[in-house]
Amino acid sequence: MKGGDAQQRVRAQEAYLRTTVGAASPLEQRRRLLEMAITCARSVAQCLRNGRRGDAHSAATRTRKALLALATGVRTEEHATLGELILRLHVYMHGRITQAVLTRDPALADQVVGLLEQEHAAWTDLLKGRRDAG
């Protein structure tokens, strides 16, 4: 698949996720934002591997926006320690995705993908547990 075709597919996925996020419960919104961040961060790594630096910059911007939305959604008043750790993790990932583009290192973007996938799995398990209990 050509680079432009892949970018169009990624943008279509991101557009779909953006439109469905607003109609979901807060827990489901977070899970969908994580999916969007994962898609964008994967795109950063792929673009860097394929030498498409401009596309990598664009994907990194979308990744940072998703990470910012995730970070601003962290409520620390109920579980201050956990909330602070999650917030710090998102700030860390924001820096790593920026560093990936600046140094043209797809491994840094892959690291962000791995962290996001772990958080996504945790949220998916939480949602599944709530559905099973309800």
18-48 residue pLDDT tens: 665 556 687 888 889 999 999 999 999 999 9
Spatial separation of the C-alpha atoms in residues 31 and 50, rounded to whole Å:
29
Q: What confidence score (pLDDT) does residue 19 get? A: 62
Q: Cα–Cα distances in Å, from 79 out to 32, 82, 85?
A: 22, 6, 10
Report whether pLDDT(131) > 80.
Answer: no
pLDDT band (50, 70, 90) for residue 66: very high
> Contacts from 81-88 at CB under 8 Å and sequence distance 24+?
86/119
Residue bearing the bigger pLDDT, 131 or 25: 25
* pTM of the predicted structure, to 2 decimals: 0.79
Q: What confidence score (pLDDT) does residue 4 get? A: 67
Which residue spans within 1-134 are E strands per DSSP? Answer: none
Q: What confidence score (pLDDT) does residue 82 get? A: 83
**How many Å is the Cα radius of gyration of the chain?**
15
Q: What confidence score (pLDDT) does residue 36 get? A: 95
* Cβ neighbours around 110 below 10 Å, total: 18
pLDDT tens-digit series, residues 68-90: 999 888 776 777 888 889 899 99
pLDDT tens-digit series, residues 86-112: 899 999 999 999 999 999 999 999 999
Could you give all domains of the chain from N- to C-terminal order, each with its CATH number? Answer: 3-133 (1.20.120.340)
Q: What confidence score (pLDDT) does residue 115 get? A: 98
